[in-house]
Chains A and B, each alone.
Chain A
């Protein structure tokens, strides 16, 4: 089973700053198989990025994804108040089909 480790666990930043969230996998993963989700309290996850760097419909261009192999990154260029949430990376693999990282909480400093 491929394990996803997200860092940091908590990221404290101010609106307007840049956020960099990391997701590392225990085995090399195809870039087609990495996605990122945002989750706010009491809400379901929302797809942000799929295939490592493709933005989902309606996602602002301040969100961007990159990476390859075992290291993947979600960047938020200029934080807006509504961006403070928990972010999960996810990979698609042979078994189980989908696994998630433990999440990074992005909080207001």
Chain B
């Protein structure tokens, strides 16, 4: 069973770049899954950020597309999220998940990112 673990800074300054990594264990990032990022602001619902395939193909949420980059590192069996020009509205729990079309089957535990000076 694939397991996912998010990691990265818990505090990012406004206008800075949020960078997170999702380590994949129990499976290979090169398998047939897509790999997604989802976030959840405090007390609110879920928002899909984007996804990547091991080939490097990506799909992004249009609402975030101009600020988001998702990449994959097959040598380290992980994928990453970068979100630039962050504001307080980007404060959230960030989850990585497997995206088996058309749903997300396995989720990481999530990591909290706060945008504050």
Interface contact A47-B62, CB-CB below 8 Å: no
- Cα distance, A33 to B99, chains bound together (Å): 12
User: Which B residues, 67 to 97, have Cβ-Cβ distances below 8 Å to chain A?
Assistant: 95, 97
A26 to chain B, nearest CB (A): 16
Q: How large is the interface on A (under 10, 10 to 19, 20 to 34, 35 or more residues)?
A: 20 to 34
Partner-contacting stretch, out of A16-24, A66-74, A97-105: A97-105
Main secondary structure of the interface of A (DSSP, over half): mixed
Interface contact A98-B36, CB-CB below 8 Å: yes
Which of these, B45, B63, B104, B105, contacts A96 with CB under 8 Å?
A: B63
Interface 1/0 per residue, B94-111 and A, CB below 8 Å: 010101011111011110
Which of these, B36, B47, B60, contacts A100 with CB under 8 Å?
A: B47
Is A78 an interface residue when CB atoms closer than 8 A count as contact?
no
Question: Chain B residues near A45 (CB, 8 Å)?
Answer: 46, 95, 104, 107
- Cα distance, A43 to B109, chains bound together (Å): 7
B79 to chain A, nearest CB (A): 16
Interface contact B102-A56, CB-CB below 8 Å: no
Interface contact B103-A47, CB-CB below 8 Å: yes
* Given A33-B102, A44-B110, A92-B102; 11 other pairs, CB 8 A cutoff: A32-B102, A47-B105, A50-B103, A51-B102, A51-B103, A96-B61, A96-B63, A97-B59, A97-B61, A98-B99, A98-B104
- What are 24 A-B contacts with C-beta separation under 8 Å? A35-B103, A37-B104, A43-B109, A44-B95, A44-B97, A44-B109, A44-B110, A45-B104, A45-B107, A47-B103, A50-B103, A88-B46, A90-B103, A92-B101, A92-B102, A92-B103, A95-B62, A96-B59, A96-B61, A96-B63, A97-B59, A98-B99, A99-B48, A102-B45
Which residues of B does A touch, CB under 8 Å?
A: 36, 38, 45-48, 51, 59-63, 95, 97, 99, 101-105, 107-110
